[in-house]
Amino acid sequence: MCRWLAYSGEALTPSTLVLETQHSLVAQSLNSPLGKETVNGDGFGLGWYPERDVPGSAPALFRSIEPAWYDENLREIAQSIESPLFFAHVRAAAGPPIQQTNCHPFRHENWMFMHNGALRQFDLMRRDMLLEVDPALFSSIRGTTDSEALFYLALTYGLKVDPIAAMARAIREVERIGAALSVPNPVQGTFAVSNGMTIWAFRYSTAHASRTLFHSEDMETLQATYPDLDRLRIFDAGARVIVSEPLSDLPGAFIEVPESTVSVLDRDGYRQEAFLRAA
Amino acid sequence: MCRWLAYSGEALTPSTLVLETQHSLVAQSLNSPLGKETVNGDGFGLGWYPERDVPGSAPALFRSIEPAWYDENLREIAQSIESPLFFAHVRAAAGPPIQQTNCHPFRHENWMFMHNGALRQFDLMRRDMLLEVDPALFSSIRGTTDSEALFYLALTYGLKVDPIAAMARAIREVERIGAALSVPNPVQGTFAVSNGMTIWAFRYSTAHASRTLFHSEDMETLQATYPDLDRLRIFDAGARVIVSEPLSDLPGAFIEVPESTVSVLDRDGYRQEAFLRAA
Amino acid sequence: MCRWLAYSGEALTPSTLVLETQHSLVAQSLNSPLGKETVNGDGFGLGWYPERDVPGSAPALFRSIEPAWYDENLREIAQSIESPLFFAHVRAAAGPPIQQTNCHPFRHENWMFMHNGALRQFDLMRRDMLLEVDPALFSSIRGTTDSEALFYLALTYGLKVDPIAAMARAIREVERIGAALSVPNPVQGTFAVSNGMTIWAFRYSTAHASRTLFHSEDMETLQATYPDLDRLRIFDAGARVIVSEPLSDLPGAFIEVPESTVSVLDRDGYRQEAFLRAA
Amino acid sequence: MCRWLAYSGEALTPSTLVLETQHSLVAQSLNSPLGKETVNGDGFGLGWYPERDVPGSAPALFRSIEPAWYDENLREIAQSIESPLFFAHVRAAAGPPIQQTNCHPFRHENWMFMHNGALRQFDLMRRDMLLEVDPALFSSIRGTTDSEALFYLALTYGLKVDPIAAMARAIREVERIGAALSVPNPVQGTFAVSNGMTIWAFRYSTAHASRTLFHSEDMETLQATYPDLDRLRIFDAGARVIVSEPLSDLPGAFIEVPESTVSVLDRDGYRQEAFLRAA
């Protein structure tokens, strides 16, 4: 179990959200009110696009197995760079070893992926999942997590062409593999994907009882509601985050994303639709 | 703030206490019921004498900045060695950097030292403390913690000759330095020292409100009380621990050490006496 | 490319060979005269059996990604333990990430494995090799090296029953996979395997131009040749090492193992035979 | 002994010099032709000013104890940022522990400092040097190197007001302390200092046999000499580096800085003058 956030808006210094908010991601690494695990100290990652809407431009990654709360380099980097679209993640390992190649986000060319939750009995399902990955992609898998394996399944199924359909197919494939191996409710999680232009965030679990997911309120609405709140002024009108739990207790600032939903966030704003709901 | 344990008895595999008890030290690193901080994830250390009662024989150290809960080498080492007298420590850093040289226990020749608590405003007092250290010892200080500085003050004042008197003088010196710099209640903590034959453990704070300290009940008594408890049988009659908090909820197993007390544990068993109590 | 040593004899403190000889393994990590790479600074590992000839008894592992030359814990551990049969390895990474799960030796139950050399274009061959691994063993693979994949192939082919036949079949399988993928001369290396009773060391490459391998001279012979050499006296009559390059320049101390040979070392001493030589 | 480079010019991606040149700093970390030690694998650091000539603006630091040649984050960061004035350093530790707080460059407010070389018998001189540091600065010293101690001596003596005079006085003080303790030739090295506007680089040793130091030729001259050399075109007319050894074998590209010299590099270009030469 982990905590993550995805930001889209004008270029922003990640430390604003990662270090400085009331329940910043680094604060959540030590104490997560809504998390399944209280402590998320098994490494972290920051992935950022230098500019947005540059087709094919790859994000940069800074990942480490040190707990986020004491990593001095994380503080330096998060205060030094600016990015219009970034992912940040703190990990609570569910089994796979704690090593840099198992830290989120994962990257393939210009695509990034991160996950909160777990594929149940992944040890059992892993071989079948890897066999299903496109052989041409196989050698790009560098770590040993369930999350990265799911990412490569989705890439195999056309993530770059139709992210929502590819994620749906990848999840269904894991559920099929799980069923064949008698794994109950194999998929659990919230997932974020981006190509540097759009963020897709999925809340889904086989048991329809997924980890929490929230998106922030429209910034102009929020600024109008709290005209005296200085800390909101640093955000532009289009700034928006999707997060595994709220970054502050400010009433109205964070809205829960429903179960079995995909959120889509880009220059045109935020929208959401049903994802893998039974007909 | 930190958590620690000190063991004396027949040669024992440290994992028994460090990994396998109900509230083992590694369990406490993630969740410490009595600790000032819940999480003690800023490194750990294990220091052990290969044999006991060998005058001048130095302990071995295994220290790392990784959280104790996920360090695979800690599991391997703690299961592989045996020692009749060992210290184990998990750290929650109070300011000085998280680096191996700041992990407890500290070692000087055949002496080991560890600490839970903090010297208040150590940044302010540090220079005066270091100036007071014997110049011949100065270059042996490898880290930057308050704990190691206090250890070297005590060594300066004759720790090897009279540990109780030397610790008392070192603490009084810090209180003197603190008073001169208007630092309120400068000393806080529990401290453990050993020479490979005897363990001295101190519970003391200037404000007389120290971190908790416990010693285990006499093992023969405990085994008689719980004749059916298999997990007590691995301990010999003289086995004893001093710990910052109980390793189990077993009624009667752990007895609190009073404020302003020094515990002494050796081949002759456990005893305690008043330490730095006002006349 | 890497450097390694395997020791068999009376219980010995590993530091004797790992730290203290003229060309100790740690010295070779900074400067290897015979190595393909001069520097082997990409992590290290020590694996040791607490006792020998205890069927089914698993070895302990201490592995780290820090360069061996500065790891303080390696010095502490290598001086603190004793073992009658141990492996030590320093790594120069050939591609797979530098992480603890990629450090040698690898362990499966009571078996240990290490490797110097490389499977050429492993990225290309990896998927086919993993597919060939027994599905029941698949989830025990924790890292991403060619070496560990070969170990699991050999386990699949009966390493525990007939190590020489299983290693031969595993190597032939890699050569078959390589041929199918047009990889020239896919196998290169020296390999060491042990079950805690016997050490098998293989020198083999498809091109018949393998990395160097040496075994030490019979210790009684060596002690008779150099009766005044104090540093030989710490070894018992049966002490023997197999190494990727000599640990000292002492004439006669190390004898090269021929190309395409397997060395066998156990309580009955050292012997060698042809391995995978063309008929 | 270490290797370092300091860059001044238009904003440049550090990877250009740190990773991509023929003898880039990372290449030198594995194999330094002119270095006292061949391998500089004991950590590295990158310090950069986001903009130049902004009085009081502090540099960012990215420092790690991993060897520079395999640190993936170093590659990501060095390719992601841009800076008009940066320092990069690879360390070969001469005694003080390998830990992040001992990695160069060191920072105090908007000042940066790095060093190649060593203060001889620093263990002996350390206490006297630290006593001489301004008590108000003392608690800002976070590591335990000779280099950082010298930096704080220079800060004590007015580095911010007159860097050349302060460095001269700090070096003379170390020579005085060394003489009192019978340390022969205590100072050895090349030193770089910056405030974000100017770089001062010193080549000096008590024995007048200092580590090498070079500055690059004027870029317009170089581009005129090699009009067909594409890789020079990425540099602006004012781009200049000062380095412990040349980054390429290009004839004429690097000019040695004489013994007992200070180099000054800023918007007005490069100049040098005698430093601590006997009258």
Cβ-Cβ pairs closer than 8 A, C with D, add up to 28
The first and second tokens of residue A19, run together, are 């270090």
Q: Which strands make up the sheet holding D269-274, listed edge to edge?
A: D106-108, D111-119, D187-194, D199-205, D261-266, D269-274
Q: pLDDT digit of tens for each residue in chain A (279 aa)?
A: 689 999 999 999 999 999 988 899 988 888 888 877 778 889 999 999 999 888 889 999 999 999 999 899 999 999 999 999 999 999 988 788 999 999 999 999 999 999 999 999 999 999 999 999 999 999 999 999 999 999 999 999 999 999 999 999 999 999 999 999 999 999 999 999 999 999 999 999 999 999 999 999 999 999 999 999 998 999 999 999 999 999 999 999 999 999 999 999 999 999 999 999 975
CA C108/CA C79 separation, integer angstroms: 25
Distance from CA of C108 to the nearest CA of B (A): 14
Q: What is the pLDDT of residue A279?
A: 58
Neighbors of chain B by Cβ distance (3+ pairs < 8 Å): A, C, D
Q: What is the pLDDT of residue C279?
A: 58
CA B211/CA B36 separation, integer angstroms: 8
**Kind plus residue range of the DSSP H or E element containing A64:** strand A60-64
Contact state of D31 with C41 under an 8 Å Cβ cutoff = no
Distance from CA of C241 to the nearest CA of B (A): 23
C39: nearest CB among D30, D66, D93: D30
* Helix B163-180 / helix B146-156 crossing angle, nearest 10 deg: 120
Which residue matches tokens 């008779």?
C224
* Helix D122-132 / helix D146-156 crossing angle, nearest 10 deg: 30
A81: nearest CB among D63, D80, D100: D80
Give the list of residues 6+ apart from residue B187 with CB closer than 8 angstroms, or none: B117, B119, B120, B171, B174, B175, B178, B204, B205, B206
3-state helix, strand, coil in chain D (%, to 5): 25, 30, 45
Task: Fill in the amino acid letter for A99.
Answer: Q
What torsion do the CA atoms of C246, C248, C249, C254 make, to the nearest 10 degrees?
Answer: -40
CA C250/CA C247 separation, integer angstroms: 9
Instruction: Choose among D51, D26, D17, D29: nearest CA to D253.
Output: D17
CA D184/CA D206 separation, integer angstroms: 9
Per residue in B97-143, pLDDT tens?
Answer: 999 999 999 999 999 999 999 999 999 999 999 999 999 999 999 99
Structural contact between residues B126 and B108, judged by C-beta atoms closer than 8 angstroms: no
Domain borders along chain B are 2-274
pLDDT exceeds 90 at position C170: yes
Q: Find residue D272's DSSP bridge partners.
A: D263
- CA separation, residue B112 to residues B132, B196, B241 (Å): 20, 8, 16
Per residue in C127-150, pLDDT tens?
Answer: 999 999 999 999 999 999 999 999
- CA separation, residue D114 to residues B49, B160, D10, D147 (Å): 40, 40, 22, 7
Distance from CA of D222 to the nearest CA of A (A): 32
Contact state of D67 with C41 under an 8 Å Cβ cutoff = yes
A186-202 burial, b at 16+ Cβ within 10 Å, e below that, comes to bbbbbbbbbbbbbbbbb
CA A109/CA A160 separation, integer angstroms: 10
Q: What is the pLDDT of residue A1?
A: 61
The contact set of C with D (CB < 8 A) is 30-31, 38-39, 41-42, 65-67, 69-70, 72, 93, 97-98
Which residues on chain A are in Cβ contact (under 8 Å) with B30?
39
B131: nearest CB among D126, D131, D142: D131
Contact state of B76 with C62 under an 8 Å Cβ cutoff = yes
Distance from CA of C74 to the nearest CA of D (A): 14
* Helix D122-132 / helix B122-132 crossing angle, nearest 10 deg: 130
Strands of chain D (E only): list them.
2-12, 44-49, 60-64, 83-91, 106-108, 111-119, 187-194, 199-205, 214-216, 240-243, 254-256, 261-266, 269-274
Q: Was domain B2-274 assigned CATH 3.40.710.10?
A: no
Nearest CA in chain C to D93: C70
Contact state of D60 with A76 under an 8 Å Cβ cutoff = yes
CA B74/CA B70 separation, integer angstroms: 8
Per residue in D201-242, pLDDT tens?
Answer: 999 999 999 999 999 999 999 999 999 999 899 999 999 999
- The DSSP symbol for C254 reads E
CA B156/CA B166 separation, integer angstroms: 8
DSSP string across C184-245: SS-EEEEEEEE-SS-EEEEEEETTS-PPP-EEEPPHHHHHHH-TT-GGGTTS-TT-EEEESS
